[in-house]
Amino acid sequence: MQRKTILSVVLVGSAIVAGSTRAAVFTAPLENSLLLSVDMNGGPLSSAVAPTNGYNENTPAGFSADPYGVLWSPWGGNQYAGGDGVQLPSSQSGPNVNASSISKTFTVQGSTYYAVTAPMASPITATISIDTINNSSKYGTVNGVASLNSRDRGSPSAANGANDSDMFRDFIFAGGSGSQVQGENYMELQLGGLVTGNQYQVALYSYDFSGGHTTNWTATAPTTSNGIDGWWAASPAGNNTFTAPADMQSITWTAATPAEAIFTLTADVNGDIAVWGFGGTGSGQSGDTTYLNGFQIAAVPEPATLGLFGIASAGLMLRRRRQNA
């Protein structure tokens, strides 16, 4: 399968970040050197026999395999449709479920319920959270407290240029309070259990076919100003004016055009990497809902530290890999 996405790389600290304030375009999921592909299965669990997991492997219900050969691992969703049976935070479930942080350790790829799995070299723990330390008042609530939330929109009405409709049909999200500045109702995805100093490619998928929005992703951690965490202008200090981080990637979609944001990052001394997502236009002040439909992590062979020649070489290698895969 030919992939045409071209990546650029910029050095940020010890991390090489793919793209720099770039708009994301969906071509296909990551396919090479994959360690884990996760489909977030949102909305209330139900008894309706409908697909939910990204790969929809050939199950007893007659669901078809993922068109790209990706083995999606479920987080949430009905077991009969390949999910793991866990109710994600939801204001529509009965009873409602609220949580400011959720975590899952993946030991196999795929769905154990249907025994369609592949071994992982080592477990990877994923944690998705919102900031209830400083920014609790900036989020939407479930059961009266700041919480993650989720939805299942049903099968997207168009092919979306993706053919991974079941991954894009449902998602977890961080809603706003109605008065938040862009970035204040952010969502963090942390991946742990990785090898310190090794590089990894992370792909984020954000989409809601019920309407057009923008979700921005960054590997630059938020900072605190006037007791609120976010991405702030350096001058004048303390005015809490949103300023886009240099590595920000914006996923903007209409009802039929999902996309992806891709970063190449180096695991820290704890074996962790982290990215942050926030809703909005990527410029200006007004915030919006933050969406996450799924994510992938893959191994990257390039060294963690590169000189100027190495950066150019890494960019060429990434472009060749993505074009020739």
Looking at 10-19, 27-36, 69-78, 99-108, which range is the least confident one? 10-19
**At residue 17, does pLDDT exceed 50?**
no
Please tell me the predicted confidence (pLDDT) of residue 57.
Answer: 47
Tell me the pLDDT band of 158, cut-offs 50, 70 and 90: low
Which of 49-63, 146-160, 229-243, 269-283 has the highest average model confidence (pLDDT)? Answer: 269-283
Higher pLDDT, 206 or 81: 206
pLDDT at 14: 32
Closest by CA position to 70, among listed 109, 105, 119, 112: 109
Mean pLDDT along residues 96-108: 96
pLDDT at 151 (0 to 100): 93
What is the Cα–Cα distance from 174 to 221, expressed in whole angstroms?
A: 17
Asked whether the beta carbons of 279 and 248 are under 8 A apart, the reply is no
pLDDT tens sequence across 28-58: 788 888 999 999 999 888 765 554 544 444 4
Angle subtended at Cα 153 by Cα 150 and Cα 154, rounded to the nearest 5 degrees: 130
* pLDDT per residue as tens digits for the range 281-324: 998 899 999 999 999 999 986 444 433 333 333 333 333 334 44
Distance, in Å, from the CA atom of 298 to the CA atom of 160, rounded to the nearest integer, reads 24
Rounded distance between C-alpha atoms, residue 31 and residue 118, angstroms: 15
DSSP class of 283: S
Distance set, CA 86 to CA 3, 42, 47, 123, 224 (Å): 34, 10, 14, 19, 34
**Phi, psi of 263, deg, nearest 5:** -125, 145
Work out the mean pLDDT of the chain and round it to a whole number: 79
Report the pLDDT value the prediction gives residue 47, as an integer from 0 to 100: 60
Q: Is the pLDDT of residue 23 over 60?
A: no
pLDDT at 110: 86
Query: Confidence class of residue 259 from pLDDT cuts 50, 70 and 90?
Result: confident
CB atoms within 10 A of CB 122: 10
The whole-number pLDDT of residue 65 equals: 67
One-letter amino acid of 55: Y
pLDDT of residue 142: 97
**Consecutive H or E run containing 260:** strand 259-266
Q: Which of 82-86, 200-204, 320-324 has the lowest mean pLDDT?
A: 320-324
pTM (2 d.p.): 0.83
pLDDT at 25: 52
Burial track 278-291 (b if 16+ CB lie within 10 A, e otherwise): bbbbbeeeebbbbb
* Res. 255: pLDDT tops 90: no
Question: Above 90 in pLDDT, residue 8?
Answer: no
Among 87-91, 180-184, 232-236, 267-271, the least confident range = 232-236
DSSP 48-93: S----SSS--S-TT-PPPPTT---PEEESS-GGGT--S---SBSSS
